[in-house]
Amino acid sequence: MTGTVYLVGAGPGDPELLTVKAQRLLVGADAVFHDHLVSDDVLRLARSGTEVVDVGKRPGGAATCQDMINELLVEAANRHDVVVRLKGGDPLIFGRGAEEADHLRARDIAVEIVPGITSALGLLTIAGVAVTSRGVAAGFAVVTGRRAIGDTDWSRYARIDTLVILMGVGNRADIAASLIAVGRSGTEPTMFIERGSMNSERRVRATLTEVARGGTVISSPAVWVVGEVTRDTIECLAKT
């Protein structure tokens, strides 16, 4: 009899942003396999004696390859009742959760997916940025900035009111230049939210032109919001 693997979203970092279900599973887990975006404050919730394994893939750094992660999960499900695969934010947003679920289900291992607060939206709300706003932004898109710059057709995002870019720190100058080239205004305001919801959170504002000229100092992880909604934040909601 194999155990169940729970693909759990850990939210953006602050343990108070875990769902009640995520917290319950984490506290009761026999084994936890987490990626690098899961904060230490969240991992401390696992009870002592739990097998906790970092299988994180850091940008440009050492990685546990996806095939190995898949096999580690299968092997853990053969030894434990409750295996938690903990991913930053939501497990299905740039999280490869679907691949892991498919791999496990193909081996008759029970899988349950538990959503989490994605950095792509939750961090904006904490910062008082309304991703949609009457008369300002009728819609939004969440897009990866990681693909090689030539791979993304940025013209698809030229007219979307609010653009939320994940994994875009390294390519930010090229992305900003591409967005201006496809018609977005160079004076359009943008905001980076670095290490959102953690004690060291930092927010940086810059226009697209300023980013294109290399004038911003940002480190990963950061969510980058492009659009008029970043001009006036809702200060009464924003965490100080």
Q: Does residue 119 interact with ligand SAM by CB under 6 A?
A: yes
Span 12-31, contacts to ligand SAM by CB under 6 A: 12-13
87, 90, 167, 174: the catalytic one is 167
Active site residue 57: yes
C-beta atoms surrounding 131 within 10 Å: 19
* Binding segment toward ligand SAM, per CB under 6 A, in 17-25, 26-34, 148-156, 193-201: 193-201
What distance in Å separates the CA atoms of residue 238 and residue 112, rounded to the nearest whole number? 33
C-beta atoms surrounding 68 within 10 Å: 11
User: What is the per-residue binding string for ligand SAM in 132-161, x denoting contact by CB under 6 A?
Assistant: ------------------------------
21, 41, 57, 161: the catalytic one is 57
Number of residues binding to ligand SAM, judged by CB under 6 A: 24
What distance in Å separates the CA atoms of residue 25 and residue 142, rounded to the nearest whole number? 28
Task: Please check whether residue 95 is in contact with residue 65, taking contact to mean a CB–CB distance below 8 angstroms.
Answer: no
Rg over CA atoms, the chain: 19
What distance in Å separates the CA atoms of residue 43 and residue 47, rounded to the nearest whole number? 9
For residue 50, the minimal CB distance to ligand SAM (Å) is 22
Measured CA to CA in angstroms, residue 66 lies from 33, 35, 92 at distances of: 12, 11, 15
For residue 39, the minimal CB distance to ligand SAM (Å) is 8
For residue 97, the minimal CB distance to ligand SAM (Å) is 8
For residue 108, the minimal CB distance to ligand SAM (Å) is 27
**Which is nearer to ligand SAM, 8 or 83 (by Cβ)?**
8
Q: Does residue 42 interact with ligand SAM by CB under 6 A?
A: no
Q: Does residue 101 interact with ligand SAM by CB under 6 A?
A: no
What distance in Å separates the CA atoms of residue 214 and residue 176, rounded to the nearest whole number? 10
**Which is nearer to ligand SAM, 166 or 175 (by Cβ)?**
166
Residue given tokens 């226009």 in the structure block: 207
C-beta atoms surrounding 195 within 10 Å: 17
How far is Cα of residue 37 from the mean position of the Cα atoms in its chain?
A: 8
**Which is nearer to ligand SAM, 37 or 176 (by Cβ)?**
37
Structure tokens at 61: 């750094």
Tell me which residues touch ligand SAM (CB under 6 A).
Answer: 12-13, 37, 87-90, 93-95, 118-120, 123, 166-167, 193, 195-197, 220-223
| Active site members | 35, 57, 167
